[in-house]
Amino acid sequence: MHDRFLALHHADTPLLIANAWDAASTALWQHAGAQAIGTSSAALAWACGYADGGPLDHDALIGKVREITRVARVPVSIDFEDGYSDDPAQVAAYVRELSSLGVVGINLEDAGWSPDLLVAKIEAIRGAMGGTPFFINARTDVYLRGMAKGEAAVAMTNERLARYATAGASGVFVPGLADLQEIAAVASATSLPLNVMIVPGLAPLDELHRAGVRRVSAGINLFQHAFAAGLQAARAFLGGDVTRSFDRPMTYDELNALFDSVR
């Protein structure tokens, strides 16, 4: 699965990651044609009843990963936030656990802190994994957290990504990066596949590809869309509308057959 996942980052078109949060969304996005499954840390935390940003319980996370890998028939990468620890050795131990469950890669972020810690975590993971192939998508939050603007943001991003590549990253992820010229400047400065996330104003896929993008993540957008539709329907029902015809629902038979196929 790792080789398959790696190859998807060097295909003729960017890899599109429809981020999932549980077994149901994994099975649905796979059914829709997803070539790989990635999670959104925020969506997965919300699905477990936690706020985003680190408080997700380890056992809850592992439980969701087990659900996802059980139904997945494509490579699975987990958004692992900052590794849920400041101790590189502990992060490496967690990653070994994920790998044992069939996960082929992670997103691992610097959260806007000094790059030194993420470098140490990547190096610890590589040391702990030995020769086992594993895709580390090193994420920097320079743009997401507004740490710099324009040319300064490009320079800071490139400096961090270069250090993560040297430490052993397999790919690089810059959420919040949307300007096409800045995307091209970041992509041209690294030999690793560049991952961006959909945000308002992002260029069309063909232009992103020409600029050097190799992976595009949906982020939390699918979760937001699904739960907005569910909330709207629930409000109508709880408001007394028991005659409403819900918009284009999947039938019971369709859904049951889908989940029967991945059991």
pLDDT single digits (tens) 154-195: 999 999 999 999 999 999 999 999 999 999 999 999 999 999
H/E run at residue 120: helix 115-129
> What is the edge-to-edge ordering of all strands in the sheet holding 15-17?
15-17, 213-217, 194-197, 171-173, 135-139, 105-109, 76-79, 37-38
- Are the beta carbons of 103 and 136 closer than 8 angstroms? no
Q: Using the structure block, give the residue that is written with the tokens 């050097």.
A: 212
- Are the beta carbons of 46 and 219 closer than 8 angstroms? no
pLDDT of residue 244: 72
- Are the beta carbons of 154 and 121 closer than 8 angstroms? no
Question: 243 lies in a domain?
Answer: no
Domain count across the chain: 1
Q: How far apart are the first and last CA of the chain?
A: 19
The pLDDT-based confidence of 54 (bands split at 50, 70, 90) is: low
Question: 72 lies in a domain?
Answer: yes
Instruction: Report how far residue 29's alpha carbon sits from residue 74's, in angstroms, rounded to the nearest whole number.
Output: 11
Question: 104 lies in a domain?
Answer: yes
Residue 63 structure tokens? 């439980």
Q: Give 100-153 pLDDT, tens digit per residue.
A: 999 999 999 999 899 999 999 999 999 999 989 999 999 999 999 999 999 999
pLDDT higher than 90, residue 14: yes
Any idea what the CATH number is for the domain that residue 111 is in? 3.20.20.60
Question: 260 lies in a domain?
Answer: no
Q: Give 218-240 pLDDT, tens digit per residue.
A: 999 999 999 999 998 899 889 99
User: How high does pLDDT run on average in the chain?
Assistant: 94
Task: Tell me which residue range forms the domain holding 8.
Answer: 2-234
Instruction: Report how far residue 131's alpha carbon sits from residue 114's, in angstroms, rounded to the nearest whole number.
Output: 28
| Residue (of 75, 74, 42) closest to 61 by Cα position | 42
Residue 101 structure tokens? 């469950």
The pLDDT-based confidence of 17 (bands split at 50, 70, 90) is: very high
Residues forming beta bridges with residue 197, ordered by sequence position: 217
| Three-state SS at 136 | strand
Asked whether the CA dihedral 141, 144, 148, 149 is positive or negative, the reply is: positive
Question: 70 lies in a domain?
Answer: yes
Question: 88 lies in a domain?
Answer: yes
Residue 90 structure tokens? 């502990």
Q: Which amino acid is at 140?
A: T
Note the pTM of the prediction, 2 decimals: 0.94
pLDDT of residue 51: 86
- Are the beta carbons of 29 and 16 closer than 8 angstroms? no
Instruction: Report how far residue 175's alpha carbon sits from residue 81's, in angstroms, rounded to the nearest whole number.
Output: 13
Q: What angle do CA 199, 145, 195 make, to 5 degrees?
A: 50
